[in-house]
Every structure is written in structure tokens, then in C-alpha cells.
């Protein structure tokens, strides 16, 4: 089978290329390593920190120590549970090149990964697909521990603002309801009551001439004149 036919067949079935088996017990003298383009300081012994929605780029370097040419045609991989080693999710298969690597030579290529996982700890294990002769082989790469977090939401994010408005409206509604049920009656029962002052009855007016003419505390104008003369006569006697 011609090499061009192999490429055409693999390109048509790249979505199901994970069905191919790895090299198994067969050993190949091909070394593959990579580093993270965005954080080159992170090594295989470190734990990378990624955020959901982030895009990371793996930069691969392949060294062909075989006696024949090899060609890189695709990349894939898995996110594993670092404790159980169980696959959590598969990476989307992607076509590379093809990138031909002669014996004793090296080549570089890249793979872009969109991070969208449940926040947790993972181990990324990439795999590359090569063609050697008329065989398609899958070569696993080293794992990379990573911690995936959700993106922090800004205080001014529209979704957060909407949630704040809903919470404030709910809280205000509860306060208003509590006031209508309990608060209004309580305030009425504890408020001081204003007592209305009764109108003062007018005090009796005493004539100024009453005491001055007779020395008594009564008005002499209504006493018959004959009775007054009689009293004066008795006083003279």
C-alpha cells in the first residue's frame, strides 16, 4: 500500500483513530516529549494549574532513532484520574502535518487543547499517531499532572449582577412581608398614646364692687334697699 493511500485512509477516519492499538510489547526507538507553551517553567515533576475556558498549547519534540522514516499524522490523548488511573475524558483527535522525520532527525509540532472539565485534579496523557512503513502506530507520551479550576467571576459580571438583584429583591420582599404580618401590629402596640386635654371651664367672674362697698364676699346690688336701711339703723343704735 502506498504511503499516500495510508494518509488518505487515516484522514477520513481520524475521528475513530483511538481504536488503533498502541505499540504494545513492540519497542520503537522514538522519543517524544513536550512542554506547555503558555507555562514553559512547568516541568513533568510539577502540577500545572489550568482554568476552565483556557486554551493551552503543547509543543512536541520527536526524535527518530529508528533506521527508517516515520511520519506524524495525528494527536489525541486522555485526562485520567491520577489516583485510579481511569479515563475521565478523551481529547479531540486532531490531524498533524503530516510531519516526516528522517532517521536520526527530530521535528516539532503543536497541539491545542481547550480546557473544559469539572474542577478537580487530573493527569494529562497525550498520544501521537505515526506511520512507519505501512503500519500506523500510537505512541503514548509522558503524563502531566494538572489542577483544573473554574474561572473566577467578576463582581461586575452581568450574570452575577442579575443574581444580586434577585437576591436583594427577595430579601426586600421578605422584610416587607414580615412587617405587614408582625411589625405593623407590634409598632401599634408599643407606640405612646397622646391624651387630649379637656377644655378648661371658665372661672366665675367676681365683681370688683362687691367687697369694696360692704366688705362681704357677695354682690349687694340685688338686696332690697329697705333691708339695707334696716341693717344700717341697727348698726347706729
Q: Is there a single domain that holds both residue 41 and residue 141?
A: yes
pLDDT at 130: 94
Task: With respect to residue 144, please indicate whether it lies within any of the assigned structural domains.
Answer: yes
pLDDT tens for 10-41 read: 444 443 333 344 444 567 889 999 999 999 99
Task: With respect to residue 203, please indicate whether it lies within any of the assigned structural domains.
Answer: no
Is the pLDDT confidence value at 176 over 60? yes
Q: Is the pTM of this model over 0.85?
A: no
Task: With respect to residue 106, please indicate whether it lies within any of the assigned structural domains.
Answer: yes
CB of 54 within 8 A of CB of 39?
A: no
Q: Which domain holds residue 170?
A: 153-187
Task: With respect to residue 193, please indicate whether it lies within any of the assigned structural domains.
Answer: no
pLDDT at 38: 93
Mean pLDDT, the chain, rounded, equals: 78
pLDDT at 15: 35
Q: Is there a single domain that holds both residue 56 and residue 113?
A: yes
Phi/psi region, residue 97 (left: phi>0; alpha: psi -120 to 50; beta: rest), is left
Task: With respect to residue 50, please indicate whether it lies within any of the assigned structural domains.
Answer: yes
pLDDT tens for 99-129 read: 999 999 999 999 999 999 999 999 999 999 9
Q: Which residues contact 5 (CB under 8 A, 6 or more apart)?
A: none
Per the structure, the count of domains in the chain is 2
Task: With respect to residue 198, please indicate whether it lies within any of the assigned structural domains.
Answer: no
Q: Is there a single domain that holds both residue 176 and residue 67?
A: no
Q: Which residues contact 128 (CB under 8 A, 6 or more apart)?
A: 32, 60, 62, 72, 74, 75, 96, 138, 139, 141
pLDDT at 149: 94
Query: Where in the chain does DSSP place strands (E)?
Result: 30-36, 48-51, 55-64, 70-80, 87-90, 94-101, 106-114, 120-132, 135-140, 144-149
> Helix or strand or coil: residue 54?
coil
Instruction: Return d(Cα 168, Cα 174) in angstroms, integer.
Output: 10
pLDDT at 71: 95
Q: Is there a single domain that holds both residue 85 and residue 107?
A: yes
pLDDT at 163: 78
> β-pairing, 70-80 with 87-90?
antiparallel
DSSP assigned state of 180: I
Instruction: Return d(Cα 19, Cα 138) in angstroms, integer.
Output: 10
- Please identify which residue in the block is written with the cell numbers 452575577: 160
Q: Is there a single domain that holds both residue 177 and residue 125?
A: no
Instruction: Return d(Cα 73, Cα 100) in angstroms, integer.
Output: 9
pLDDT at 94: 80
Is the pLDDT confidence value at 56 over 60? yes
pLDDT at 198: 58
Task: With respect to residue 236, please indicate whether it lies within any of the assigned structural domains.
Answer: no
Amino acid at each position: 500500500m502506498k504511503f499516500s493511500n495510508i494518509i488518505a485512509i487515516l484522514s477520513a477516519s481520524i475521528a475513530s483513530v483511538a481504536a488503533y492499538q498502541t505499540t504494545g510489547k513492540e519497542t520503537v526507538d522514538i522519543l517524544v516529549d513536550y512542554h506547555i507553551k503558555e507555562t514553559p517553567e512547568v516541568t513533568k515533576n510539577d502540577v500545572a494549574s489550568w482554568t476552565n475556558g483556557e486554551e493551552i498549547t503543547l509543543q512536541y519534540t520527536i526524535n527518530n532513532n529508528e533506521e527508517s522514516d516515520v511520519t506524524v499524522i495525528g494527536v489525541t490523548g486522555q485526562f485520567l484520574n491520577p489516583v485510579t488511573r481511569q479515563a475521565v475524558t478523551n481529547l479531540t483527535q486532531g490531524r498533524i502535518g503530516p510531519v516526516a522525520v528522517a532517521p536520526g532527525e527530530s521535528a516539532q509540532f503543536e497541539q491545542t487543547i481547550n480546557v473544559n472539565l469539572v474542577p478537580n485534579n487530573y493527569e494529562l496523557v497525550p498520544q501521537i499517531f505515526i506511520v512507519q512503513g505501512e503500519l500506523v502506530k500510537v505512541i503514548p507520551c509522558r503524563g502531566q499532572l494538572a489542577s483544573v479550576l473554574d474561572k473566577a467571576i467578576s463582581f461586575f459580571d452581568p450574570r452575577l449582577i442579575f443574581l444580586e438583584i434577585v437576591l436583594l429583591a427577595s430579601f426586600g420582599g421578605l422584610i416587607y412581608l414580615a412587617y405587614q404580618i408582625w411589625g405593623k401590629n407590634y409598632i401599634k402596640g408599643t407606640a405612646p398614646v397622646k391624651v387630649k386635654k379637656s377644655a378648661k371651664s371658665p372661672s366665675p367672674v367676681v365683681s370688683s364692687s362687691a367687697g369694696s362697698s360692704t366688705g362681704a364676699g357677695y354682690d349687694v346690688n340685688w338686696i332690697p334697699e329697705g333691708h339695707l336701711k334696716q341693717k344700717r339703723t341697727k348698726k347706729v343704735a
